[in-house]
Amino acid sequence: MRTLILAITLTIAALAGNTAAVGAASIDGTWSGGGYVKATDGKREKVRCRVTYRRQTSKVYSVSAVCASASNKIRQSGEVLKVNQNRYVGDLFNSEYNIAGRVRINMRGRSQTVSFKSSAGYGRMTLRKR
């Protein structure tokens, strides 16, 4: 269970951290979508997430995420940094389970691909702006 939660946490972090913006799209706002997480114990699960980004500075955004799988629901928070027009990187933390992870976000218009990794697992998902 802890491994799955860490994997989901990493997924959320990834969603928040590696965003690429094409054109005038902004990461600011609420995004939702799904993908998968794979725990280090080998179990792979589908997840659905809702992620909200709020501008803190010209390049830093706070992240608040809620993700759910068939077996669990978790909340995470963190920050991402805009590294170029289409990419963000950052860290997320789940205080309930004391799990941290690294995320990368690549944006294309109103869509973003998020990947994440932690000691508990890894994952990938696609989010769309709401």
DSSP 41: T
Q: For the chain, what are the domain ranges?
A: 2-129
pLDDT of residue 129 exceeding 60: yes
Q: What is the pTM of this model?
A: 0.80
How far is the C-alpha of 124 from the C-alpha of 54, rounded, in Å? 22
57's CB contacts (< 8 A; 6+ apart) are none
Dihedral in degrees, nearest 10, Cα atoms 77, 130, 32, 128? -120
Q: 74-122: per-residue pLDDT in tens?
A: 899 999 999 999 999 999 998 888 889 999 999 999 999 999 998 888 9
| pLDDT given for residue 82 in this prediction | 97
Q: What is the mean pLDDT of residues 49-66?
A: 97
Residue 27: closest CA among 79, 99, 100, 68: 79
| Residue range 2-129 in CATH 2.40.128.120 | yes
